[in-house]
A and B are shown apart, each in its own frame.
Chain A
């Protein structure tokens, strides 16, 4: 199973909204609703910010939202803040053999 495709980097200014994409294939993102998104700051463990495609765990800011269309999942961060600068990874359940498939990650820079 190939990794999901994410842009290597995106940037935005404080206050802006920005959308990160995650493209899979019909067998993963296109087939299941179990897409999750993780935020990782330098030197820290990944943190779950979205699960089941669009749900936020308790304590995660509502500035983070997500959706899916076909084989592409998207994460939108509104009201961009300096603290949002991090790496973002998507992950999709593929099948009981492959388990989770991660994207290559997107580095978000807040200008």
Chain B
């Protein structure tokens, strides 16, 4: 069974750093890209970027280029989303998802709520 299990909710202050995780299991990791999707408090979904676990090749949507870093540790089948300096506008739910069937996100993690507030 394909599963993506994300780390728990975070509350941070502006300027702080954060790395959230996504533990992947149930299939051969290097068969699919993994993506991160942001859902804003207004429920807008935005594709942030994708990473290929085989060689860590990464592609970011223009809005998120330079704002976050996506990485993967193949040895523990875990993908990460990292911020070096959070802003209040980063408050959202973040989902990891497998980029699979027909260039769609076919399996999703349960989401990680990130709250950034002073």
Contacts and interface: CB of A to CB of B under 8 A. Distances in A.
Contact of A36 (B44, B105, B107): B105
A46 B95 contact: yes
Interface residues of B, number: 25
DSSP majority for the B interface?
Answer: strand
Residue with the highest number of chain A CB atoms closer than 10 Å, among B50, B95, B97, B102: B102
A96 B59 CA distance: 8
A82 interface: no
A102 B105 contact: no
A57 B106 contact: yes
A111 interface: no
Contacts of B75: none
Given A45-B108, A45-B111, A46-B95, A102 B102 contact: no
A105 interface: yes
Nearest to B60: A99
Nearest to B42: A104
Interface in A34-93: 34, 36, 38, 45-48, 51-52, 55, 57, 87, 89, 91, 93
B46 A102 contact: yes
A104 B95 CA distance: 17
20 contacts: A34-B103, A34-B104, A36-B104, A38-B45, A45-B108, A45-B109, A45-B110, A48-B101, A48-B106, A51-B101, A52-B101, A52-B103, A91-B45, A91-B104, A93-B103, A98-B62, A99-B49, A101-B47, A105-B44, A105-B45
Interface of B: 35, 37, 43-47, 49-50, 59, 61-62, 95, 97, 101-111
